[in-house]
Structures are given as structure tokens and as C-alpha cells.
């Protein structure tokens, strides 16, 4: 099969499913979305093992192929969990069939953002994803949903406005908007890089432009939070990575590194003081994106760093999606505050297993997959020519803070306390997707180790 | 060429003046009218560039700009203001006067910053929209009222399209314009939906 047709397939299935979702029968939309997410995952998996190619519409390299897989993974997890929990959703602000329509469009915009050869269209699809995901945040009725969506659109779109400015200046200087086949930009183009970092960084949730992130992740339905965290933030960072490769400046490297490290430290500090489970997870996502930003910055010194970033994205997509879906299940049973969730191991061993494995993974505990990614990034950081020990120490401090913060809360939720009687009334369908997600994550970890030990060629 | 430059500069100055009017205005109805004028002037500017450079996507963009941002969004907002007595006159809490002073500082700083960009861009034509972007950001940050914030956002959108057409007049900007209009529509839908259920959307702060 020609690889380009596989890409068309990945795009066509959610596209058709979104059209079917226009039907007033929400079950028809749901069924087509489940089918589309499944086929997209299979096609993404097939494409992952194919070679690079480009057309006037697509540029598919190893990074794009890995990102397609990351997006498909969160899409399928989000879709199935959304279907299983549809009866638990609160009153709809939009009609239920629009929920499925928007889920498909959300996946579609991200697929397009990571496969385009044009910075302009990369920006456009990310901005379109803002519109779609904001609508998904307000899909359930509630004032907090509306305020979160408002903050999200205003802050993310304003930030992306800076990125558009960067792209316009780039278009002026280079004569087109393509990022492929470009030599480095002339002197003065550092501005393009800094504006791009600020703009795309807002969408990624880098400090100090992160203020929309905890609200949006905290109030969105949990499948949407999973897709926001596991797929959208990495997609925005990958579009920035394309721009970073063109600007290619040591000053931009330093600025990106500082933003990444500050994000990790701030997120690590904020995690400790969180009261709501989903906001806690949102700050954890911010922490992981900070680490990935450091990895992107380090591609200036070692192109291999992008492999570690992609490992981080892949594992994070599975682990964080599992955690968000689990948090959503608990929230719908009135358990939103971290200090009220107790004794999960007694009430739902499956949920307790998911929580512990996913939290350990997402915080980089050995031997889980994220550990490989984080150690890889730290080892490249240790080799940079100037002040590597300082950057290394601060990044390690941030990673440790988030490790302690998230695992402290998760262990408090999981292990029993005396006289604790918690009735969750969970069914198998409530925990099946997060549990499967954590198993797949363990499987992916084994694959990563196999790749390291036997050097599988991708 | 001389006429073209004169027209672009004249329209640019008018657009900047309306930017100031928007930042200083605390009467919601008048603020929307200023926004309407600014967007219509921008549509004229895009039309002039589109015709002069022969980029016909820009001509379509100018029509869309006047229809959507010059007419539809402001008219819906005005209709909404009439319905909600609370927004008939002034904002509930306003920092408009302080905004004007901060706006002047932002404009001066913007021009100084742009001087640093000149060696890269080799044109002064983008100085006004560059400053206008900063003004739009200032409005969004300083104002709490959702309608004032949406006007800040539209000022920023207008400035981005303006800078796009003077720096890199390509067909891609038409798609950008359509997308930005859709975002404006979604913001509007959020405001109207929120009001219907919970009353006017006043945000205490734009932080987590």
C-alpha cells in the first residue's frame, strides 16, 4: 500500500465519522467514531514502520509517524471511554451528537498539524484545534466550563497570535512558509524563534503562559482532558520543533532550555499544593511538557534528543490518558478532591493498579518507559558545553519535585486508612480503558527496552 | 505607488486611532461601534493591498472582514447589549482610564521595539500593526469584562491580518482570516450562551 494513501486513510476515517455524527442519533456518531479511532490507530501503526515521504500536502518523517501514533492512541482511548461513560455525562450544553462530531474534528486537526510541511498550516490546524477543543470543554453544562473555555480560547489564541506573527515574519524573510528544504535563517531571525516559542509555548502550557491549562484540563470531560494532555500539547510542541530547526540559534537554544526548566520546576512546586485530582494531573502534564521542551532545545546539540522526546510523548499519552480517564470516573462519583479519595486498593484493585503504575510511569520512575526518555534527555543535557551542571541540577530538582508530589497523592488515594469505607459502585466498563491503557504502557516499555538492548531499527 | 503608500499610511493611522479609542472606552456600546469602524477600515486597507498587488484572495478577505467583523459580530454584540440592561452603559468595573496611559506607554515602547526589527524587515509599513498587536494584548490583559476582552482579541486579530497583508501578502491569509473569524464567532457564542444561563461574564482575573 502506498504510504500516502495510508495518511489519507488516517484523515478520512475521522472526517467521515464527523459527518456521520451530524445525524441526530448520537449512537450512530458514537459507533462511527469508535470505528474511525480503531482504523486510524491500525493505519498509524502500519505507517510507523514505513519510510519517510513528502508530497505538496504532507511531510511524513519519523517524528510525524510517531506523533500520528500518539494522537491515535489518545483518540481511541478517549473515544471508547467516552462511549462507556456517556450515561454518566451531565446535562449537555451542546447536543450529544456534537460531542462525537467534535471528538473526530479534534483528532483530525491534530493529525493535520503534525503532517503538514508548512509552518503556516501547522499554525492553522493548531488554532483550529483550539476552537474544537474549547467547544468540547463546554459540551457539558456548567459555569466553570464556560469560564475555562473562555480563558482557554482567549489565552491560547492570543499566544498563537504571537506564533502567527513569527510565521508572517518568516514568510517575509524566506519568501514562503515551508519548513522543509530550508537552510538556516539569516541573522536577526532569532526574533522569529522567540515569538514562536512564546506563541506555541502558550499552547503547550509553558511557564508563564500556562494559566489556561489547569482550568481547561480540570473542567473538560475526562476523554477530552486525556486528548488535550496526551496529544494536543505534544502536537503544539512538535510544530514549534519544526520552527526551531529552521532558526537554529544558540541563543534560542538557551531561551528554550530556560523556559523548559522553569516550567518543570513551577509545575513540580504546584503539584504539591493541589486539591483537585484533575488539576493535579494538569500540572503533571505541564511538568512533562517542560521536560520535552528541554529535549527539543537539546536537539541543537544532539539530533538524537528528539527520540527521547518521542519516547516521553508515547509513554505520557498512555499513562496520562489512563490517569485522566480514571479521574473522570471518580469525579462523576463525587470524588474530585485528592484528600477525599481513599482506599482505592480495597474498593477497586484495577483502578489502584492503574493509578500506581501510571503515576510511577508519568513521573519517570525506573524501570518504566518514561525513565528511559528522561534519562536520555538528562544525559544529553549533561554534555552541553556551558553550565551543563547548573541546568542538569535544576531539571533534576523539578523532576524530583513532581515525582514526590504526584506519587505522594496517588499513594494516599490508593492505600487504606483505618475506618475508611468508600463505596464506588464501579462497573467493569468504568475501569476497562484506563486499565488496558496501563497494560499497553507496560508493553510499550518492554518494546523500548528491546529497542535499546537489541537496537531494533525503526 | 505614491498614492498607494499614502492610502495605506492614512488608513493605518486611522486604524491606530480607533485602537486608542477602544482601549480608552468604557461605554460598551460605543466600544463596539469603534470596533466596527476599525474593522471596516481594515477591510478597505486589505482591499487596497489586494488590488495593488493583484492578490485576489485578499479582495475576498476584505469582503469577509467587512461582513463578519465590520458588521455581523458587532451587530450581534450590540443586540446583546440592548437586551442586557447591565451592559447598557458602563462596564461594571473598569480600568479604561488607566488603560489609556498604559496604552500610550505600550505604543511608544512598540515603536522602539519595531526599530530593532527594521533591519530584518526593511519596511516601516508594519510598525502600526506591530504596535496595534501590543495594544490588543494590553486590552485583553487589563479588562475584566468579556465584551471588552473580545474587542481586545479582535483588535489583535485585525492587527495580525494588517501585518500579514503588508509584510507577506499571500493567499494563505484568506484562510487565516476565515479561521480567526470562526474563533471570534465561538467567543461570541460563549458570551451569549453564558449570559443566557448565568448572566454577564465578568472574569476577576485571567489566571489559573
Q: What is the mean pLDDT of residues A281-288?
A: 96
At A337, give phi and psi (nearest 5°).
Answer: -85, 135
The closest CB to that of B168, out of A151, A171, A214, belongs to A171
pLDDT for B89: 55
Q: Which residue has the higher pLDDT, B208 or A153?
A: A153
Compare all CA atoms of chain B with the CA of A189 and give the residue at the minimum distance.
B120
Nearest to A319 by CA among A327, A330, A307: A327
Contacts of B180 in chain A (CB under 8 A): 127
**Quick check: B196 pLDDT over 70?**
no
Q: Which residue has the higher pLDDT, A195 or B29?
A: A195
The closest CB to that of A131, out of B119, B186, B193, belongs to B186
Shortest alpha-carbon distance between residue B7 and chain A (Å):
22
Contacts of B208 in chain A (CB under 8 A): 210-215
Q: What is the pLDDT of residues A126-157, one digit of tens each?
A: 999 999 999 898 887 777 888 888 889 889 98
CA distances from A99 to A25, A106, A107 (A): 12, 10, 13
Q: What is the pLDDT of residues B140-175, one digit of tens each?
A: 888 777 788 888 888 998 999 999 999 988 878 888
Contacts of B207 in chain A (CB under 8 A): 211
B170 assigned to some structural domain: yes
Q: Which residues of B touch A (CB under 8 A)?
A: 117, 119-121, 133, 136-137, 140, 146, 149, 153, 156-157, 160, 163-164, 167-168, 170, 172, 175-176, 179-180, 182-183, 186-187, 190, 193-194, 197-198, 201, 203, 206-208
Q: What is the pLDDT of residues B53-87, one digit of tens each?
A: 998 899 999 999 999 888 988 888 888 777 766 55
Contacts of A154 in chain B (CB under 8 A): 140, 149, 153, 187, 206
At B201, give phi and psi (nearest 5°).
Answer: -90, 105
Contacts of A173 in chain B (CB under 8 A): 120
**Quick check: A419 pLDDT over 70?**
no
A148 inside 8 A of chain B by CB? no
Shortest alpha-carbon distance between residue A187 and chain B (Å):
8
CB contact under 8 A, B160 and A161: yes
pLDDT for A10: 96
Nearest to A256 by CA among A187, A204, A212: A204
Q: B133-168: b or e for each residue (b if 16 or more CB lie within 10 Å)? A: bbbbbbbbebbbbbbbbbbbbbbbbbbbbbbbbbbb
pLDDT for B185: 80
ipTM reported for the complex, 2 dp: 0.89
**Quick check: A451 pLDDT over 90?**
no
Contacts of B136 in chain A (CB under 8 A): 158
Where is average pLDDT lowest: A106-110, A342-346, B11-15? A342-346
pLDDT for A342: 83
Contacts of A188 in chain B (CB under 8 A): 119-120
CB contact under 8 A, A189 and B183: no
The whole-angstrom separation of Cα B10 and Cα B30 is 23
**Quick check: A433 pLDDT over 70?**
yes
CA distances from B140 to A439, B99, B104 (A): 45, 11, 16
> Mind spelling out the 3-state secondary structure of chain A?
CCHHHHHHHHHHHHHHHHHHCCCCCHHHHHHHHHHHHHHHHHHHHHHHCCCCEECCCCEECHHHHHHHHHHHHHHHHHHHHHHHCHHHCCCECCCHHHHHHHHHHHHHHHHHHHHCCEHHHHHHHHHHHHHHHHHHHCCECCHHHHHHHHHHHHHHHHHHHHHHHHHHHHHHHHCCCECCCCCCCCCCCHHHHHHHHHHHHHHHCCCCCCCCHHHHHHHCCHHHHHHHHHHHHHHHHHHHHHHHHHHCCHHHHHHHHHHHHHHHHHHHHHHHCCCEHHHHHHHHHHHHHHHHHHHHHHCCCCCCHHHHHHHHHHHHHHHHHHHHHHHHHHHCCCCCECCCCCCHHHHCHHHHHHHHHHHHHHCCCCCCHHHHHHHHHHHHHCCCCCCHHHHHHHHHHHHHHHHHHHHHHHHHHHCCCCCCCCCCCCCHHHHHHHHHHHHHHHHHHHHHHHHHHHCCCC
**Quick check: A421 pLDDT over 70?**
no
**Quick check: B204 pLDDT over 60?**
no
pLDDT for B172: 83
Contacts of B197 in chain A (CB under 8 A): 141, 143, 146
Shortest alpha-carbon distance between residue B10 and chain A (Å):
23
The closest CB to that of B140, out of A158, A165, A171, belongs to A158
Taking residue B125's Cβ as centre, other Cβ atoms within 10 Å add up to 18
Contacts of B193 in chain A (CB under 8 A): 93, 138, 146
Contacts of A171 in chain B (CB under 8 A): 167-168, 170, 172
Supply A243's cell numbers.
520552527
Whole domain around residue B12: which residue ranges? Answer: 2-198
At A53, give phi and psi (nearest 5°).
Answer: -160, 160
Contacts of A191 in chain B (CB under 8 A): 117, 120
Shortest alpha-carbon distance between residue A454 and chain B (Å):
46
Contacts of A149 in chain B (CB under 8 A): 190
The closest CB to that of A165, out of B133, B153, B208, belongs to B133
pLDDT for B205: 43
A171 inside 8 A of chain B by CB? yes
The closest CB to that of B208, out of A134, A149, A215, belongs to A215
pLDDT band at A292; cut points 50, 70, 90: very high
Long-range pairs, B204-208, Cβ under 8 A, ≥24: B204/B144, B205/B144, B206/A151, B206/A154, B206/A155, B206/A211, B206/B140, B206/B141, B207/A211, B208/A210, B208/A211, B208/A212, B208/A213, B208/A214, B208/A215
- Top residue of A159, A172, A279 to mutate, by most chain B CBs within 10 Å, is A172
Q: Considering only the C-alpha atoms of chain B, give the largest distance between any 2 of them, rounded to a whole number of Å.
A: 54
Chain A residues 108-127 with a CB less than 8 Å from chain B = 120-121, 124, 127
Q: Which residue has the higher pLDDT, A216 or A173?
A: A216
B149 assigned to some structural domain: yes
B154 assigned to some structural domain: yes
Contacts of A41 (CB under 8 A, 6+ apart): A69, A72, A73, A75, A76
Question: Chain-centre distance of CA A232, in angstroms?
Answer: 5
The closest CB to that of A155, out of B121, B170, B206, belongs to B206
CB contact under 8 A, B206 and A173: no
The closest CB to that of B146, out of A131, A138, A150, belongs to A150
**Quick check: B95 pLDDT over 70?**
no
The closest CB to that of A131, out of B121, B133, B182, belongs to B182
The whole-angstrom separation of Cα A13 and Cα A268 is 39
Q: What is the mean pLDDT of residues A411-437?
A: 77
A94 inside 8 A of chain B by CB? no
Q: What is the pLDDT of residues A224-242, one digit of tens each?
A: 999 999 999 999 999 999 9
pLDDT for A194: 92
- A with B: how many residue pairs have Cβ under 8 Å apart? 103
Please state the domain count of chain B: 1
Q: What is the pLDDT of residues A92-111, one digit of tens each?
A: 677 888 899 999 999 999 99
CB contact under 8 A, A188 and B167: no
Q: Give the mean pLDDT of chain A.
A: 89
pLDDT for B85: 60
Q: What is the mean pLDDT of residues A413-428?
A: 71
Shortest alpha-carbon distance between residue A449 and chain B (Å):
38
pLDDT for B128: 93
**Quick check: B90 pLDDT over 60?**
no
Chain A residues 354-413 with a CB less than 8 Å from chain B = none
Per cent of chain A over pLDDT 90 is 60
pLDDT for B208: 38
Q: Which residue has the higher pLDDT, A241 or B191?
A: A241
CB contact under 8 A, A147 and B164: no
Domain ranges in chain A are: 251-458
A57 inside 8 A of chain B by CB? no
Q: What is the pLDDT of residues A30-74, one digit of tens each?
A: 999 999 999 999 999 999 999 898 888 899 999 999 999 999 999
Amino acid at each position: 500500500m502506498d504510504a500516502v494513501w495510508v495518511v489519507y486513510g488516517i484523515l478520512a476515517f475521522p472526517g467521515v465519522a464527523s459527518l456521520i455524527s451530524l445525524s441526530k442519533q448520537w449512537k450512530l456518531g458514537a459507533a462511527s467514531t469508535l470505528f474511525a479511532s480503531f482504523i486510524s490507530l491500525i493505519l498509524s501503526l502500519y505507517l510507523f514502520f514505513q519510510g519517510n515521504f513528502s508530497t505538496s500536502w504532507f511531510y511524513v518523517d519519523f517524528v510525524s509517524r510517531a506523533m500520528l501514533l500518539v494522537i491515535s492512541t489518545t483518540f481511541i482511548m478517549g473515544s471508547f471511554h467516552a462511549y462507556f461513560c456517556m450515561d454518566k455525562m451531565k446535562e449537555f450544553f451542546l447536543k450529544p451528537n456534537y460531542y462525537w462530531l467534535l471528538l473526530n474534528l479534534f483528532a483530525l486537526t491534530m493529525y493535520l498539524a503534525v503532517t503538514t510541511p508548512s509552518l503556516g498550516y501547522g499554525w492553522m490546524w493548531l488554532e483550529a484545534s483550539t476552537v474544537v477543543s474549547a467547544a468540547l470543554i463546554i459540551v457539558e453544562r456548567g459555569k466553570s466550563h464556560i469560564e475555562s473555555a473562555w480563558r482557554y480560547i482567549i489565552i491560547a489564541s492570543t499566544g498563537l497570535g504571537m506564533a502567527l506573527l513569527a510565521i508572517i515574519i518568516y514568510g517575509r524573510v524566506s519568501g514562503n512558509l515551508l519548513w522543509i528544504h530550508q537552510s538556516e535563517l539569516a541573522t536577526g531571525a532569532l526574533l522569529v524563534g522567540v515569538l514562536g516559542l512564546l506563541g506555541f509555548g502558550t499552547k503547550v502550557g509553558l511557564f508563564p503562559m500556562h494559566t489556561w491549562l489547569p482550568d481547561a484540563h480540570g473542567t473538560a470531560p475526562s476523554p477530552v482532558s486525556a486528548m488535550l494532555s496526551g496529544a494536543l500539547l505534544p502536537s503544539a510542541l512538535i510544530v514549534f520543533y519544526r520552527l526551531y530547526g529552521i532558526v537554529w540559534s544558540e541563543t534560542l537554544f538557551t531561551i528554550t532550555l530556560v523556559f523548559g526548566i522553569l516550567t518543570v520546576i513551577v509545575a513540580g512546586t504546584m503539584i504539591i499544593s493541589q486539591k483537585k485530582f484533575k488539576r493535579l494531573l494538569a500540572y503533571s502534564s505541564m511538568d512533562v511538557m517542560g521536560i520535552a521542551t528541554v529535549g527539543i532545545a537539546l536537539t541543537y546539540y544532539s539530533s538524537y534528543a528528539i527520540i527521547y522526546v518521542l519516547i516521553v510523548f508515547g509513554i505520557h499519552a498512555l499513562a496520562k490518558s489512563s490517569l485522566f480517564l480514571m479521574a473522570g470516573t471518580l469525579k462523576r462519583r463525587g470524588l474530585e478532591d485528592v484528600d477525599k479519595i481513599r482506599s482505592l486498593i480495597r474498593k477497586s484493585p484495577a483502578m489502584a493498579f492503574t493509578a500506581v503504575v501510571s503515576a510511577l510511569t508519568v513521573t519517570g520512575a525506573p524501570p518504566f518507559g518514561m525513565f528511559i526518555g528522561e534519562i536520555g534527555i538528562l544525559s544529553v543535557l549533561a554534555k552541553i558545553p556551558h553550565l551543563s551542571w547548573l541546568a542538569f541540577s535544576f531539571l533534576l530538582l523539578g523532576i524530583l519535585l513532581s515525582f514526590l508530589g504526584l506519587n505522594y497523592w496517588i499513594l494516599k488515594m490508593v492505600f487504606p486508612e483505618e475506618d475508611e469505607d468508600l463505596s464506588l459502585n464501579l462497573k467493569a466498563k468504568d475501569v476497562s480503558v484506563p486499565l488496558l491503557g496501563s497494560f499497553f504502557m507496560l508493553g510499550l516499555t518492554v518494546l523500548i527496552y528491546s529497542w535499546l538492548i537489541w537496537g531494533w531499527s525503526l | 505607488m505614491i498614492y498607494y503608500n499614502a492610502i495605506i499610511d492614512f488608513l493605518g493611522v486611522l486604524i491606530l486611532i480607533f485602537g486608542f479609542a477602544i482601549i480608552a472606552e468604557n461605554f460598551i456600546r460605543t466600544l463596539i461601534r469603534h470596533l466596527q469602524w476599525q474593522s471596516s477600515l481594515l477591510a478597505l486597507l486589505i482591499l487596497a493591498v489586494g488590488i495593488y498587488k493583484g492578490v485576489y484572495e485578499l479582495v475576498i478577505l476584505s469582503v469577509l472582514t467587512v461582513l463578519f467583523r465590520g458588521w455581523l459580530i458587532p451587530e450581534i454584540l450590540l443586540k446583546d447589549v440592548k437586551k442586557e440592561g447591565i451592559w447598557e452603559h458602563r462596564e461594571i468595573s473598569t480600568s479604561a482610564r488607566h488603560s489609556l496611559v498604559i496604552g500610550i506607554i505600550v505604543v511608544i515602547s512598540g515603536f522602539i521595539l519595531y526599530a530593532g526589527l527594521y533591519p530584518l524587515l526593511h519596511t516601516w509599513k508594519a510598525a502600526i500593526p506591530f504596535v496595534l498587536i501590543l495594544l490588543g494584548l494590553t486590552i485583553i490583559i487589563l479588562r475584566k469584562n468579556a465584551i471588552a476582552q473580545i474587542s481586545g482579541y479582535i483588535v489583535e486579530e485585525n492587527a495580525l491580518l494588517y501585518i500579514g497583508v503588508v509584510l507577506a501578502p499571500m493567499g494563505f491569509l484568506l484562510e487565516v482570516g476565515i479561521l480567526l473569524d470562526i474563533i471570534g464567532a465561538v467567543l461570541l457564542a460563549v458570551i451569549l450562551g453564558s449570559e443566557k444561563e448565568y448572566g454577564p461574564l465578568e472574569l476577576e482575573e485571567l489566571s489559573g
